[in-house]
Structure 1
Amino acid sequence: MGHFGFSYVGLIYLLMLMIPNLIWTKKQPIGYDSSNENKILRMMERVGQVLVTCTVLIFSDFNIKPWSTWSIWLLISFLLMVLYELWWIRYFRSDRTLKDFYSSFAGVPFAGATLPVLAFFLLGVYGRVIWLMVSVLILGVGHVGIHAEHRKELIT
């Protein structure tokens, strides 16, 4: 269920998530418009963001423990975050079009939304903290759903 305490791993994940997003605010894709997003998906995304941010910081279960087969969950989760960082590098080096922003990467659709959602979910599995997994599911429905809608608009 989770043990209260600060998670330095959670902080590292949040920094890996937030730093590229802060840069993105100055380098948004040409023609980006979020004004027509589904209000329910947007609400789920915002609630999920708050829940994930709080949950990942207040449970010490995400911190590194002695190696075991269970540590593979953390390793996979971290590799997904590294892929997320690589996706951002590719985006920032691109022409920064909407197609670039909603692109797949390493076979993962909507990589900018999907990779961190998967990474945080697996971090929840590693820590055995159901609260993070539920928070990530709420975030994922909203965040990936919004990206899927934008990509659908782009194709049509």
Structure 2
Amino acid sequence: MGTFGFSYVGAIFLLCLLVPNLLWTRCRPRDYDPSVESRSLLALERTGQVWTTCAALVFQDFNLRPWTPWSWWLIGAVALMVLYELWWLRYFRSARTMADFTSSLLGVPVAGASLPVAAFFLLGIYGRVVWMLLGVTVLGMGHIGIHLRHRREIRKETDI
């Protein structure tokens, strides 16, 4: 269920999200159209963001512990977060279009949305915190859903 206490690992993961997203607010894609984002998906995304942020910070179960085979879940979460950061580097070096923003990385579709959701899901497994798993599921439905809608709009525009 989860042991209350501050999680420095959760805080580091959140910083890995926060920094590139703050930069993104100054470097949005030129063809970004927020009207594509449905209210229901936005509600799921925002709810999931708050839920996941709270879970990441208030459960100390995510902090480092002595090595066990269970630690591979944390290694997987860190690897996905590193890929997420690499995806951002590629985006910031690109022409910064919606096609760049909704691009895949190493076969992971809409990597900018999928990788952090998957990373936090693995972190939830590592910590054995069901609250994180539930929050990330809600976040994923909204966040990945929004990115997929943007991707669909790009494909419609290129088919015209």
TM-score (norm 2): 0.96
Q: Which digits, 9 at most, give the CA deviation of each residue in 1:19-54, with x for residues without a partner?
A: 000000000001101123111111000000000011
Residue in 2 that maps onto 1:18:
18
Residue in 2 that maps onto 1:149:
149
Query: What CA distance in whole angstroms lies between the structure 2 residues aligned with 1:16 and 1:90?
Result: 15
Query: What CA distance in whole angstroms lies between the structure 2 residues aligned with 1:18 and 1:106?
Result: 23
Q: Which amino acid aligns with 2:24?
A: W
Q: Which amino acid aligns with 2:150?
A: H
Q: Which amino acid aligns with 2:50?
A: V
Q: Which digits, 9 at most, give the CA deviation of each residue in 1:70-127, with x for residues without a partner?
A: 0000000000000000000000000101110000001100000000000000000000
Which aligned pairs between 1:1-156 and structure 2 lie closer than 5 A?
Answer: 1-156=1-156
Instruction: Report the Cα offset of residue 69 of structure 1.
Output: 0.3
Query: What CA distance in whole angstroms lies between the structure 1 residues aligned with 2:142 and 2:74?
Result: 24
Equivalenced residues, count = 156
Runs of 4 or more, structure 1, over 2 Å off, are none
Query: What CA distance in whole angstroms lies between the structure 1 residues aligned with 2:99 and 2:121?
Result: 26
Q: Among the aligned pairs, what percent are the same residue?
A: 60
Q: Which amino acid aligns with 2:91?
A: Y
Query: What CA distance in whole angstroms lies between the structure 2 residues aligned with 1:114 and 1:126?
Result: 18
Q: Which digits, 9 at most, give the CA deviation of each residue in 1:121-155, with x for residues without a partner?
A: 00000000000000000000000000001100100
TM-score (norm 1): 0.99
Query: What CA distance in whole angstroms lies between the structure 2 residues aligned with 1:153 and 1:96?
Result: 16
Contact 2:36 2:149 in 1 (8 A): no
Contact 2:102 2:151 in 1 (8 A): yes
Query: What CA distance in whole angstroms lies between the structure 1 residues aligned with 2:83 and 2:31?
Result: 26
Query: What CA distance in whole angstroms lies between the structure 2 residues aligned with 1:150 and 1:97?
Result: 11
The unaligned stretches of length 5 or more in structure 2 are none
CA RMSD, aligned part only? 0.5
